[in-house]
Every structure is written in structure tokens, then in C-alpha cells.
Chain A
Amino acid sequence: MKPLNFVLVGVGGQGILLASDILCHVGVAVGYDVKKTDVHGMAQRGGSVISHVRMADRVAAPVVPLGAADFLLAFEKLEACRWVSYLGGAGVAVVNDEAIPTLALAAPRRGIPYPDDSSLIQLLRSRARQLAMMPAGRLALELGNARVTNLVLLGALSHFLDIPIPVWQAVIEERVPARFRELNRRAFEAGRSAGIVSLRGQGPSGTMD
């Protein structure tokens, strides 16, 4: 089977670990050997977070080498830029078009400002063969809960993977508490449709609104 490397990035507390758990179990369900790793502890207190997921016939190290990721799934756009060097030349970036400000500091030692959208997108485009910017957080809110942003993003990612949808649905069913299942299922579908739109609308390196 074709080896697949993913990095999922964002800010501690955004639901990244559940997303990478679901992704791993989807990989296992279709017959991959799967390994994943992320950093616990200090880094979870609102810091920058990266989760590595690798799938192949046999995976050795759980950490994705720099420049070897096929997919970057970013929960926040500054974090997408911070970790974009993990993407390989043929990599796809699926990015939640949402900015979480970094810690505001007192003037004039105000630190480095949050970059503007055009430089962030330029940077992402320079590294990603295909870039899908999508309002995952907004879609999740419209569905009723910002916490399902992770399922919206997974839905978008699913569009780029050759894995049957029932496999995803079965794993979501299994990994999510019963009372949130319907919400998570709808979030996944919303993300998947948005992913399709992003492809149809733009072609390589297109961004979508």
C-alpha cells in the first residue's frame, strides 16, 4: 500500500489528538500498519502542537521526517505556516482559515506581530502543491459547536484520500461519545463537501472561501 505521512498541527486544546486518533484508526481499518506520536505535558498549555501520523505496510519511526509529509492538516493558519516545512514537494495542505492570536505583549516590546493573510498564504503556497483554505471553525459553529472543527477538517482531508466513506463513518461512530455522534457525522460531511468544492473551484494551489 502507498505509504502516507500526515502532520496535524494547531494550538493546544483544539481537539487535534482526537482527530489524529480517528485518522489512525481509519488507517488500521483499511489494513495499514500505523504509528502516531505527539507531545504531551508542557506543550498542551496553549502552545503550538504537532501530531505525527504515519501509515505504510510497515512503519518504523512514528515521527514524520521533515519534508516527507503528504498532508498537512492545520487547525490554525499561523501554525500551518510554522510546520509547513514538514510537507513534501507533492504535499497537500488543508488549513482552517482561522487565526488564534499569539500572546499580546506590552508596547513597545510587543514582539513579532501576527502575519497578514497574504504573506501566510504566499508561504503556504510556496510549499504546498495544493492548498485548501477552508472556514472549518465557522462551519463547525454553524453546526452548533466549535469543538467539531476537527471533524470538519477530517471531512475535507477524506476527499484527498482513497478510503471509502463508510470506513470513516464506522471509526467516527466508534471513537465519539454517543450523544455527539450525529453532530460529528454532520461535521465530517460538511467538511467533505467543502473539500470537494475546493478542488472543483480552483485547481492546483487554489484557495477557497
Chain B
Amino acid sequence: MARRLLLGNEALAFGAYAAGVSVATGYPGTPSTEILERFARFPNVYAEWSPNEKVALEVGMGASLAGARTMVTMKHVGLNVAADPFFAAAYMGVVGGLVIVSADDPGMHSSQGEQDNRNYARFAKVPILEPSDSQECMDMVALGLEISETFDTPVLLRTTGRISHAQSLVDVDPQRLEARASARRVVTAFPHNPEKYVMLPGNARQRRVAVEERLCRLRDYAETTPVNAIQWGERRLGIVSSSMAYQYAREVFPHASFLKLGMAYPFPGRLVLEFARQVETLVIVEELDPFLEEHIRALPGFPSMPVVGKSVFPSIGEFSSELLARCAREHGLVSEPDVVELNRGPSAAAAEAAKPVPAAEVILPPRAPVLCPGCGHRATFDALRRLLLECQADLVTPPGPEHSPYERGILDRRRRYRVVVNGDIGCYTLGALQPLNAIDTCSCMGASIGHALGMEKAGIKNKTVAVIGDSTFFHSGITGLVDVIISGAATTVIILDNGTTAMTGGNTNPGSGRAVDGRPARRVDLETLCRALGVQDVQVLDAFDCAGIEREIRRALYSDEPTVLIMRFKCRVQERTTSLMVSRVEADRCQSCWACLTLACPALARREGRVEVVPSLCVDCQVCNMVCPHDAIRRVEREGVAA
């Protein structure tokens, strides 16, 4: 047995592989991405990045019905997309074990919403497993597959960002992995059973009953499974907890008794009652929704005793040890010394200081994520920002004394003319931040096209665009474009095609011509696809050609036909090339109008009232050269480059 430091996500991949999973699918999304990336590197498996989570789960269900042990991975909001097959899978059951991994994102480090996917377990009536470190990730995939096959049910395995993206030690058995690598794929046959697998209303009514009966059996299992266990300590406080919240609670209440729930649904009510009856105060520590708390408070025969949960700990945001300690102290659950012991620092007040802000009086400038230097999204957002189109003057802030003459000019024009930009999910959502400030809406994957169409149909003529990345378009933008065609709209759709799914770390997508394991794959051609849907005006543009982009968007906006503009480039993160040239600001020409600074390029710095290019960051994309109204930024040879 070898001890290895593994990310929770890596441990899920190892666990799945060791337990014999031979088919794994998913769609990349932080914090879930590394599970499938790691799994795809094992021999003797099939792994794919599917076009979206719904397809991923449908492929996974097919593999399971054919007898393969299967894992499907996605981020929390991905399960919204896959909800339809998820509910269907609950009715149909499985043949080979089926584990669906949902990685939630408390604190929304990299998500548009904060949702607690434990609710999906209750909603779809399937069991849920929640690991609290990497070892449990490894073990619970195997357990999930066993539960899945024993009870004929899909199993939801829920992590959070801090489980998925924390490393801890895991026992890995190299011999088992080796045996798995040389094991032959089991050839299976699909067991014909229309009553179970054809969900016509008549069959579904039978399965509806089977689902409830299964829940009863699963509830009995949850009462006795070793992943739901009492750890006795002092009886004054009894902590009920799960997932990462359990680890924080372990630090804040080191002497208390614990009921750790690795399988919280179906809810093990008898076990909780047994625990509650033997402690003075029951403390429920869970991130996000009061899922455990609602179940506990609804338990029949629950003793009359103090119970605290969301009255003490917040239901919004990510937990931390110091947050739990503060809440517990304020409500008299722990005494001051405990907290000092936890922090090992002299001052509990310091621990309360807001997260990144230091106690002294220096005000620190923020450092928000930005588009990389040389990113091909920049020129498009700059063009959109400049577009001068009539509408909605009252929605735009009037220029004030805090604006420079250049900005005042732009804002003045925008009050009269303003295009509405419907953005989507990806790196390019950063185009919404200052100073690019070029996105008006962003809701969920693929929504930009529908939003633009809806605005157009509500009466905003020729002034709305949708901006969507290539991967997001494949994910769920295509159907929006179908609607544009059949509704007779004249929507302008801009597809930012960088050939990859960049924000999650450069994953392959249907347009990149590679599979998740790096092997060549067939690719879907964006232009052909859009034309086949009925868009006649499809243009492919150089993503760095500022003038051409502005001209084409303007033309498209005034056109009565639907238009797709594909801005094509290679993502800088994927293809790092070093140009022999860099941009340089000619000091005698620079008028300090700051037009270039509205590009939000990290390679542009201010020094003594002038703009300077930082040569180590500049990649010679030349967008600032084109944007400068005074022709003050020019290309020069890079110094000190070994050819």
C-alpha cells in the first residue's frame, strides 16, 4: 500500500478506476474538472468530454444499462442541465453501477450561483454520499458503485470546492491498479426489460412505486452504513455534520461528540435520534442549506432538547474554522480559550478582520482576474464598447466630473447610442469587469442567444448581440440559434472561437479536434454547423483585427438577416508563442488619453503620467497599437531575445 497526496478530484478518479469504472463522461466545470482529466489518463478506459452535462449523463446511463460501471462528473450547476436524465435514471435504475459526481462551489469562487445539490438527492429520490477528504473520495466512489448495483439506483456523490481542490493523503494499492490495467473489459448484453427501461406512463407508474420502496430499503441501509458513524466525546455538545463542514467543526469543537454523516439521504433518522438522546445540545454544522436540520426537526419522536443549526451558522457562503469559531463563541457554544487554542495567535480580534484586508491603514489595490495579455477576446469587447447604436439613453450613467474627456465622449455617445451585449459563461465573462465594461447580461450556459432574441422580439431592433464562446455554443447555444432561425429574427451572434474550453484549464471541446486523453478526434466545424441551421451570413474574422471586427458587427447589427460572426484565434494559455516583437509607447506621441487602458491589458502600466508597455508581459497582439488614436504605440524588436 502506498500513501499518496491526492486532490479530492484525483482521488475520485483513482477510486473509480480501482473499482472498475470503465466509462466516464462529463463536462468541464470548476471545481469538478480534474476528475475526468485524471481518469482519462488511465489505461483500458473510455472517457469523454461530452458536449454538455445532459449528454454526459445520457451517455453514462447507456453505458450503465449495457453493464459497465460508470461515472459522470459535473459542477453543481451542470446537474441543472442534466436534471432531466437524472430524474429519469432514478426511475430506470442501473445495470452497471452509476455514480454521478456533483462538485458544489460554496462561496462561488468560480460560479454564477451557489446551490446546495444535496437537494437533488431528495428531489430525485436517490441516495447521496459526501466525502470529507481525499481518502473518503477514493473509498466512496467504490461504495457508491456497490450501493448503485445493490439497490438498482443511480448514486449522487457530492463534493464541494474544498473537497475537490484539497490534497490529502490517500492509501493507493499499486497492485490493484496494475490488476485493473490488465483486466479485460467485461462484454455485456443489454437486458431487455421494457417495463423497466421504457418510461411510458403505464410503466413509469410501476417504477414510481419501486422508487419509493427502494427509498425505504436505502433508509434502513443508511441507519447502519459505516459511513454514518458516531464518535463519542464529551456529551455536552453533540455535533451532526458532513462534508468539509465536518473538518472545520472538528477543529472548533475538539472535545465534542460527533455524528458524521457520509450518507445523508435517505436520512438516517433512528441513528440521529439515538445520538441526540445522549447529548445535552445538538449542534448541526452544515454548509449552505439547512438540509440536515430540516430532516432532524421533522423527525417524529424527537426529544425536547436544545437544537441549533442555521440560527448560529450562516447558510450563505463558504465555512472556515474561524467563522465557525466566531459563531459558536457568540452563541456560547464554546469558550474563549478554545478559540485562542484554535488560532494559536494572541488576538481573536485579528481573526475577525475581514478576510484579505490587513489591520493597518494602507489601502491595497484589488487584483481581480483579467483577460490574459494577447487574449483574442479583447478586441471584440473593445469594438462592442465603441459601438454607437440608438437606444436606452436612460440606462447609461451620465458622464460626470470623475470621468476623463475621452471617457466623457464615450459615455455621451453611449447615452444616445448603446448596443445591448448579452454575454455568456467563460473567460470572456471577464469582459463585464471595469474598464472593458462591455457585457450587459450573463446568466447561465448558452443563454446569451436566447436573451438577445427575446430582447429583439420585445422591441429592441437591431441593437442586441449575443457573445458566446465556442465550447458554450456547443454546450447549449445551438438550440438558441435554431430559435433565431425559426422565429425570423435578425439576431447577431458572436462566437468567440479560441478552440478550447479555456476557463476550466484548456479542455477539449467538439471543435478542437482532440479527445480528453489528447488523441485526435473528429471535429465539428462551426461555420458548416451554423450554415446548416439556416444562417446564411456566417463570417470568420481575425480576432485581433479591431477595425474589421467593428465594421462587421456594425454591418450585422443593421442587417435584417441573422448573422454569426466567428472571432477565431488560439487561446494564449494553450499556445504560448514568443514573438520577436513587442509594442512600445513613443513618449513624445502619447497624449495620455488613456484610450489603450480601457483594453484592460495587464501588459500596459502607468508611469509618471504616461503609459508604458511591460515587455515581459507583452505578446505582440497589437490591439493597443490599433486602438491608440495618436499612433503612439508601435512595434519594436524585443530586446534580449535569443533567436
Could you jot down 17 A-B contacts, CB within 8 Å?
A11-B367, A33-B168, A35-B167, A45-B372, A48-B367, A61-B248, A66-B320, A82-B367, A85-B350, A88-B344, A103-B602, A104-B597, A104-B604, A104-B606, A105-B435, A111-B365, A127-B358
Q: A33-B169, A62-B162, A108-B402 are in contact. Are A88 and B359 (CB under 8 A)?
A: no
Most chain A C-beta atoms within 10 Å of own C-beta, residue among B5, B347, B357 = B5
Map CB proximity to B onto A3-15 as digits: 1 under 8 Å, 0 otherwise.
0000000011000
Contact yes or no, B320 A65, CB < 8 A: yes
20 new A-B contacts, CB < 8 A, other than A36-B166, A42-B110, are A11-B367, A24-B167, A35-B133, A35-B166, A42-B109, A45-B430, A47-B368, A48-B366, A61-B244, A65-B251, A65-B322, A103-B367, A106-B407, A106-B435, A106-B594, A107-B404, A108-B403, A115-B363, A122-B360, A123-B358
Q: Is the CB of A62 within 8 A of B166?
A: yes
Check A85 against B359 for contact (C-beta < 8 Å).
Answer: yes
CB proximity to B under 8 Å, residues A56-85? 59-63, 65-68, 78-79, 81-85
Instruction: Let me know if A109 and B247 touch, CB within 8 A.
Output: no
How far is B403's CA from A45's CA once the two chains are assembled, in angstroms?
A: 28
Query: Which listed residue, B247, B350, B430, B605, touches A61 by the CB 8 Å rule?
Result: B247
Quote the shortest CB–CB distance from A196 to chain B (angstroms): 27
Residues of chain A within 8 A (CB-CB) of B34 are 40
The total of chain A residues at the interface (CB under 8 A) is 62
Q: Is B273 an interface residue (CB 8 A)?
A: no
Identity of the chain B residue whose Cβ is nearest the Cβ of A42 in the assembled complex = B110
Complex Cα distance A107/B598, Å? 10
Q: A35 and B362 in contact (CB under 8 A), knowing A61-B251, A107-B594, A109-B402?
A: no
The distance in angstroms between the C-alpha atoms of A109 and B352, with both chains bound, is 31
Q: Within the complex, what minimum Cβ distance (angstroms) separates A24 from chain B?
A: 6
Q: Using an 8 Å CB-CB cutoff, how does the interface string of A165-207 with B read, 1 for contact, 0 for none?
A: 0000000000000000000000000000000000000000000
Interface check A34, CB cutoff 8 A: yes
Minimum CB–CB distance from B32 to chain A (whole Å) comes to 10
Residue of A nearest to B348 (CB): A67
Shortest distance in angstroms between B111's beta carbon and chain A's nearest beta carbon?
Answer: 9
Residues of the B chain whose Cβ atoms lie less than 8 Å from the Cβ of A103 = 367-368, 370, 600, 602
- Contact status B504-A41, CB under 8 Å: yes
A residues in contact with B366, CB < 8 Å: 48, 102, 112
- Given A63, A81, A82, A109, which contacts B403 in the complex, CB threshold below 8 Å? A109
Q: Which 4 A-B pairs have the closest CB atoms?
A: A41-B30, A41-B110, A106-B594, A67-B345
* B243-280 near A? 1/0 per residue, CB < 8 Å: 01001101100000000000000000000000000000
Chain A residues packing against B (C-beta within 8 Å)? 11-12, 21, 24-25, 28, 33-48, 59-63, 65-68, 78-79, 81-85, 88-89, 101-115, 119-120, 122-123, 126-127, 146
Most buried by B among A24, A42, A122, A127: A42
Q: Which of A36, A46, A104, A122 contacts B167 (CB 8 A)?
A: A36
Q: How far is the CB of A167 from chain B (nearest CB, A)?
A: 15
Q: Which of B351-382 contact A (CB under 8 A)?
A: 351, 353, 355-360, 362-372
- A65 engages B343 (CB within 8 Å): yes
Least Cβ–Cβ distance between B527 and chain A, in angstroms: 29
Q: Give the nearest-CB partner of A67 in chain B.
A: B345
Determine if B427 is an interface residue (Cβ-Cβ < 8 Å): yes
Residue on A nearest B592 in the bound complex, by CB: A107
- Decide yes or no whether B125 CB sits under 8 A from chain A: no
B residues in contact with A84, CB < 8 Å: 358
Q: Does B219 count as interface, using CB distance less than 8 angstroms?
A: no
Most buried by B among A36, A63, A78, A113: A63
- Please tell me if the beta carbons of B370 and A42 are within 8 angstroms of each other in the complex: no
Cβ B369 vs Cβ A62 within 8 A? no
Q: Taking each of B168, B358, B403, which has the highest tally of chain A beta carbons within 10 Å of its own beta carbon?
A: B358
B343 touches A66 (CB 8 A): yes
Q: Is the CB of B321 within 8 A of A61?
A: yes
- B161 within 8 Å of A by Cβ? yes
Min Cβ gap B347→A in Å is 7
- Does B66 reach chain A (CB closer than 8 Å)? no
- Judging by beta carbons under 8 Å apart, are B407 and A119 in contact? no
Q: Judging by beta carbons under 8 Å apart, are A28 and B3 in contact?
A: yes
Report the minimal beta-carbon distance from A18 to chain B, rounded to whole angstroms. 13
B321→A112 contact, CB < 8 A: no
Is there a chain A Cβ closer than 8 Å to B54's Cβ?
no
CA distance A107 to B248 in the complex (A): 45
Most buried by B among A24, A43, A101, A119: A101
Residue from B168, B346, B598 having most chain A Cβ neighbours under 10 A: B168
Once the chains are docked, how many angstroms separate the CA of A37 from the CA of B107? Answer: 15
Decide if B190 is an interface residue (CB 8 Å cutoff).
no
Query: What distance in Å separates the Cβ of A102 from its nearest Cβ neighbour in chain B?
Result: 4
Given A34-B5, A40-B505, A106-B435, CB of A60 within 8 Å of CB of B365: no
